[in-house]
Structure 1
Amino acid sequence: MPKTAPFSSWPWESFGIFKYILLGPLVGKVLYSRLQADDDLASNWWFHLLLITILRFHLYAWYTNFCNMLWLTRNRRIIQHSVDFDQIDKEWDWDNFIILQALIASSCICMFPHNFANLPVWETKGLVTIVVMHVLVSEPLYYWVHRFLHGDYLFTPYHSLHHSSTVPQPVTVGSTTFLEELLVTTVLGLPILGCSLSGYGSKTIIFGYVLVFDFLRCFGHSNVEIMPHWIFDRFPIFKYILYTPSYYSIHHSEMKTNYCLFMPLYDAIWNTLDTNSWVLQKKITLDAGKSSRAPDFVFLAHVVDMTSSLHAPFVVRSFASMPYRARLFLLHLWPGAFLLMLVMWARSKTFLVSFYHLRGRLHQTWAVPRFGFQYFLPFASQGINKHIEDAILRADKLGVKVISLAALNKNEALNGGGTLFVNKHPNLKVRVVHGNTLTAAVILNEIHESVKEVFLTGATSKLGRAIALYLCRRGVRVLMLTLSTERFQNIKEEAPTNCQKNLVQVTKYQAAKNCKTWVVGKWITPREQRWAPPGTHFHQFVVPPILAFRRDCTYGDLAAMKLPDDVEGLGSCEYTMGRGIVHACHAGGVVHSLEGWTHHEVGALDVDRIDVVWKAAIKHGLQPVSSLSK
């Protein structure tokens, strides 16, 4: 193992999630003190320390969430890149510094119990004292510590980790080494300790200083410029009193300028102030009202259920970077998600969720503010179609080349697989794509050539029809589960005359009791799965995926493909898919965009294009998920 520099790694680095046990004694101290009959929360410093620790966690987390609300911040972003998986992983333990400072504060309370126990709620002289100490002690101390960390000897072992994050975000504050954070803790703690020991300390001053300190660090690392430029034009002195996100971004990228904590005054004094800082700040502010670069491709997604609505970068960034599954910590967020659903149902419009770059082209994911169950309410269909139509027209106005519809957004009963919008707006420049051709191709390429019989549910749907026709041409006997003889006959007549015998209508699941290859296009219950013989493999193109009920059978994932390796800025997983993997309908839109095809892909699938789309996907570096596991 390579040697690490002294104090560069965290003492609890190997603890994983169990690092929060370090706060156990603090929690225990609070609980114990509550059991004392004469306990007073107002004078209980253990309680105050626990409270401020929790507030700090939430401040950094929610400010980061704000920065990832792209529909609010996209035109004010300084670095026009997205946070990728690599940065998220580096910053996974961003909250180490809060744990460290809570432990140090606990030690200080134990060392000076009398000084802290008798602090009043407010002390005016304390405000003056702590401001003076910050300006005259913390600011210059941080400046020189920060500047030394950029020296040839200290930068690589102690500070390069922080600058390895491409896009600054509030939690990037915690992407530091142990020694670096000890130095920052000293900068934060000296004014608090000095103010308290001087006799001018107060609970409000200490709470306020810590939270303002944290807020200003979040503000500077946010990558979102929210300061109006007129303040600096009318009052030039503010240029030296308060830094801005654009001021810090210059340091983060160029590193040899703008070392200050919050006050550029010290950069000006020691001649390290970048004179372009305010030019950049003004430019970003003035450009905020202008339209940003139009994406080449948009994937129009939707929410599946209540808890999966929390699987978004602007809710919990780390959670969104992993494949979705229900987790215990989501329970306390469920009421908020329910209220948000009601608000979205009543007022919300389509919003930007995430973006990435591929082959120099900008790809974005927009979301329709509707939940999965709403798509099956008859009275909601008109409103949902209105949202989808508005998104298509907005994309057309922006100059988007291709917009691809997610599973329920192209429901046949809802809008005919997108046909409704193309017919209503014949002059659309944006190409509307349901992506089902590639979905069919993915499923068909998963079925081994040795398979001679397939049981197909959802057999008369767009995908079911195409899969049945393709397989029957391949000489596979397809048991098509459908009660509609008319729809079955229409599909059968589409097949070549010599292949029609391969299409067989069945009306019950019992008909598949000897068939070991099931293609599921309509949700089936565990009871219906019982008819499958042992060793059956369930391919599926149904959302949500069926329950893996049978232990003696195998279950395929939803049709999906891995994006090419040169994709940039991808930092969230698409529903239950792994990193870099998207649903096949999403990938179908990507291929449509990369190929520059000019036709709409709506309505019924063209069976003859299945192989064409598949070969194009492979040519552009997309990989079927089934091949990744081999």
Structure 2
Amino acid sequence: MAKIAPFSAWPWENLGTFKYMLLGPLVGSIVHSGLQGVDHLASNWCFHVFFISFLRFALYMWYTNICNMLFLTRNRLILQQGIDFDQIDKEWDWDNFVISQALLASLAIYIFPDGFANLPVWETKGLFVIVVIHVLVSEHLYYWVHRSLHGNYLFTPYHSFHHASAVPQPVTAGSTTFLEEVLVTTVIGLPVLGCCLSGYGSKTIIYGYVLVFDILRCFGHSNVEIMPQWIFEYFPFFKYILYTPTYYSLHHTEMKTNYCLFMPLYDVLWNTLNTKSWASQKKISLAAGKSTRIPDFVFLAHCVDITSALHVPFLFRSFSSMAYSARLFLVPLWPFTFVVMLLMWAKSKTFLLSFYNLRGKLHQTWAVPRFGFQYFLPFASEGINKHIEEAILRADKLGVKVISLAALNKNEALNGGGTLFVKRHPNLKVRVVHGNTLTAAVILNEIREDVKEVFLTGATSKLGRAIALYLCQRGVCVLMLTPSTERFQNIQQEAPANCQKNLVQVTKYQAARNCKTWVVGKWITPGQQRWAPAGTHFHQFVVPPILAFRRDCTYGELAAMKLPDDVEGLGSCEYTMGRGIVHACHAGGVVHSLEGWTHHEVGALDVDRIDVVWKAALKHGLQPVSSLSK
């Protein structure tokens, strides 16, 4: 067992989410003061400490969210790589420093009650005092502390954890060891304490200094260069007063340089300035607004329901890194999300959601601003198709090679499985792919070889047709649930003459009372599931998935595949899928891109290509989810 360095672990490391209980005494003091009246509450410093802590937590979280809004920041990114699951896990407890500083602030108030009692709202001289202490004391102290942490003795046990985050984010500032944060607390606490003890302190100065300190930390750790170049051109000395995100990013990639807190002046004075600092900043700043990275592959997704829209990476990064499930904390946000949905419905464009790299190729996920139920509104179909078409044309203009359509974006009734767009634009260079061939392959390979009879709902859909034709050629009797004799006969006639007898039309669920293998392509109610005999396994390709109602039956997941292990920059889960797992239609587009196929995959499935696509997926390291659970 590895030896842990003293003061590297946090004292409450084993408490998990119960660590927030440490702030309980603060809350108790606030409640007690509140019961005595508003005036008493305003003079209670426990209230101010708690309120500042809340503001700090919100600041770091929302600054991080904004940085992850790739549709706004993609052309201003400094390090061109995604935030992966490993970094998110390392930074899971980034808010430890907020808790520790709240506790230490409470202790300081207890030790120096006279220094904080009856502070005025504003004191002009206090602004001068706190700036002087920060520049002459805090900046200098931080520089040497930071430089010491990069020494041979302290770096590995203490500071290496912070540098383990490959891509700086605002919350990376809090991804530190306990000893580091004690030192940072000293840096931020000295100006506040000195200002108050000097007699020039005020509530506004304390609030302002702490929040400006945090804003500048977020700014430097953001990985998004927003500092305009003209400031340095017109005011050259300003480059020594305030660092930039590029400046701090160079410290992460080329250590032993750029140690300063906020002022590069100290790196200049002590000869640790990275000579590329402002040249790199100028290059990124001037390139802003230009698309410098063209993706090879785009997956065009959509929201499923209102609460799942909150699963996007730029809202709750930690929540997005886990498979989606309904949570209680989402309920209060439902009204706000509903209003946003209406605004998106009124006027919006397809936006970049996330990206990752695979085999040296950039893969992006774009999202159509539409929710699942909207796809079933007759009057909304034209607008939805317009958004999808705009996304395809945009991808074509950029030089994207393959664009894959998510479940409802390729709905047969909506656009014929993408056929509409290919017919409208016959000269498209981008290949439009619905990915259903791999979806069919995944489902078919889940069905055991010894199965002789299958009950199929959604039997005349694109997937249902392909599954039925493939199984009947394998000698499996397929009970196709469909009221349309004409559509059934059309499919039956596509099968080889000696296999047509294996396709049987049924019109009621009762026909499957003795069949233990169901393939569900159309949503079925718990009442309809009752007709399945005990021990039935439900395979499914329906969105949303059916309810697991029967305890005496088993339910398969939606068709999905795990991406290869060498995928880079993937840090969000795709809806209810686990980490690194994507829907089969998404994986189908990935395979299409990796193979370099030049045909469109739209409309009806080519049954003869099911095995071809399946073998290609396995060749490139994609794994069926069903095999992972065995």
Residue aligning to 1:561: 561
Aligned partner of 2:63 in structure 1 is 63
1:145 aligned residue = 145
The Cα shift of 1:299 comes to 0.2
Whole-Å separation in 2 of the counterparts to 1:348 and 1:53: 35
Query: Which is worse superposed, 380-389 or 16-25?
Result: 16-25
1:34-433 → structure 2 map (5 Å cutoff):
34-37=34-37, 39-433=39-433
In the alignment, the residues of structure 1 paired with residue 235 and residue 542 of structure 2 have an alpha-carbon distance, to the nearest angstrom, of 60
CA displacement, residues 585-620 of structure 1 (integer Å, 9 cap, x when unaligned): 000000000000000000000000000000000000
Query: 5 Å matches for 1:577-592?
Result: 577-592=577-592
Scaled by the length of structure 1, the TM-score of the pair is 0.99
SS in 2 for 1:604: coil
Confirm whether residue 27 of structure 1 aligns to residue 27 of structure 2: yes
Is residue 221–residue 248 contact of structure 1 (8 Å, CA) maintained in 2? yes
Is the aligned partner of 1:534 residue 2:567? Answer: no
Aligned to 2:614: 614
Could you tell me which runs of 5 or more consecutive residues in structure 2 were left unpaired when the two chains were aligned: none
Structure 1 equivalent of residue 487 of structure 2: 487
Question: Per-residue deviation at 1:229?
Answer: 0.6
Which residue identity does 2:446 align to in structure 1? E
Q: Which residue of 2 aligns with 1:509?
A: 509
In structure 2, distance between residues paired with 1:293 and 1:259: 31
Question: Which residue is equivalent to 1:456?
Answer: 456
Secondary structure of 2:151 counterpart: coil
On the 8 A contact 2:30/2:41 being kept in 1, the answer is no
Comparing 609-618 with 43-52, greater Cα deviation is found at 43-52
CA distance in 2, matches of 1:58, 1:72: 20
Please state how far the C-alpha of 1:348 moved relative to its aligned partner.
1.0
Runs of 4+ in structure 1 off by over 3 angstroms are none
Question: C-alpha separation between the residues in 1 aligned to 2:286 and 2:95?
Answer: 34
Measure, in 1, the Cα distance between the counterparts of 2:133 and 2:120: 20
Give the letter aligned to residue 330 of structure 1: L
SS in 2 for 1:35: helix
Tell me the CA shift for residue 37 of structure 1: 4.8
What is the Cα deviation at residue 227 of structure 1? Answer: 0.5
Moved more, 338-347 or 299-308: 338-347
Aligned partners of 1:333 and 1:579: how far apart in 2?
25
Unmatched tracts of structure 1, length 5 or more:
none
Q: Does residue 518 of structure 1 match 2:518? A: yes
Distance in 1 (CA, whole Å) between partners of 2:536 and 2:568 is 38
Q: Tell me, in whole angstroms, the C-alpha distance in 2 between the residues paired with 1:234 and 1:36.
A: 55
Which digits, 9 at most, give the CA deviation of each residue in 1:97-144, with x for residues without a partner?
Answer: 000001101111222223212100000011000000000110000000
In 2, Cα distance between equivalents of 1:288 and 1:142: 32
Deviations 1:129-181 (A, max 9, x none): 00000001100000000000000000000100011111000000011000000
Shift of 1:232: 0.5
CA RMSD across the alignment: 0.8
CA contact (8 A) 2:454 2:519 kept: yes
CA distance in 2, matches of 1:11, 1:332: 33
Label 1:38 to 1:340 Cα distance change in 2 as closer, same or farther (>3 A): closer
What number of residue pairs does the alignment pair up? 630
- Give, in whole Å, the separation in 1 of the partners of 2:505 and 2:378: 29
Secondary structure of the structure 2 residue equivalent to 1:367: strand
More divergent stretch after superposition (32-41 vs 64-73): 32-41
The CA deviation at 1:49 is: 1.1
Q: Could you tell me how far apart the structure 2 residues matched to 1:69 and 1:28 are? A: 38
The one-character-per-residue Cα deviations of 1:200-234 (angstroms, maximum 9, x if unpaired) are 00000000000000000000000000000110111
* TM score, norm. by length of structure 2: 0.99
Aligned to 2:552: 552
Q: Verify the 8 A CA contact 2:353 2:367 in the aligned structure 1.
A: yes
Whole-angstrom CA distance in 2 between matches of 1:547 and 1:106: 50
Other structure's SS at 2:15 match: helix
| CA shift digits 1:333-391 (9 cap, x unpaired) | 22221111111111110000000000000000000000000000000000000000000
- Preserved CA contact (<8 Å) 1:325 1:576: yes
- Distance in 2 (CA, whole Å) between partners of 1:351 and 1:539 is 33
Whole-Å Cα distance in 1 between the matches of residues 328 and 77 of structure 2? 33
2:210 aligned partner, one-letter code? V
* C-alpha distance in structure 1 between counterparts of 2:38 and 2:613, whole Å: 75
- In the alignment, is the contact (CA less than 8 A) between 1:74 and 1:292 conserved in 2? no
